[in-house]
């Protein structure tokens, strides 16, 4: 269910993006492995340079601490021509992004 929510948010963000030169981007690669058991993974690449990969794994199955841990990355070219990349983990400690352009907490 959480992977569906994450995917739905990604699709909504892409759909809400303003039309521009990238409006005609084509999907170059889409891989998905989600049979509903233990975890999932997917990857997407588009002709305008956007890419995203994510894997989710069930932790502590059958216990009160059962949760999905998600690891992934995405990258895109900003309006300034710079390629921005973010890697992240989302687990019981929250969403933890890392990227060269992101501030680091003291």
Other beta carbons within 10 Å of 73 = 16
- Determine whether 54 is exposed, middle or buried from the number of CB atoms within 10 Å of its CB (0-12, 13-18, 19+): buried
Report the C-alpha gap between 29 and 72 in whole angstroms: 16
Instruction: Report pLDDT for 84.
Output: 96
Instruction: Report pLDDT for 80.
Output: 94
Contacts 24+ apart (CB under 8 A), 3-7: 3/34, 3/40, 3/56, 3/68, 3/70, 6/54, 6/70, 7/42
The answer to whether 34 touches 3, Cβ cutoff 8 Å, is: yes
Instruction: Report pLDDT for 61.
Output: 85
Per-residue pLDDT of the chain (106 residues; tens, 9 = 90+): 555 555 455 555 555 555 565 678 999 999 999 877 778 999 999 999 999 999 999 898 889 988 889 999 999 999 999 999 999 999 988 999 999 999 987 8
């Amino acid at each position: 269910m959480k992977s569906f929510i994450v995917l739905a948010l990604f699709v909504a963000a892409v759909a809400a993006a303003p039309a521009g030169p990238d409006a005609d981007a084509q999907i170059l690669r889409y891989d998905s492995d989600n049979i509903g058991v233990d975890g999932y993974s997917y990857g997407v690449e588009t002709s305008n340079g956007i890419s995203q990969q994510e894997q989710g794994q069930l932790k502590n199955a059958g216990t009160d601490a059962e949760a999905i841990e998600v690891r992934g990355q995405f990258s895109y070219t900003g309006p300034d021509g710079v390629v921005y990349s973010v890697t992240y983990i989302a687990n019981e400690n929250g969403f933890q992004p890392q990227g060269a352009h992101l501030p680091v907490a003291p």
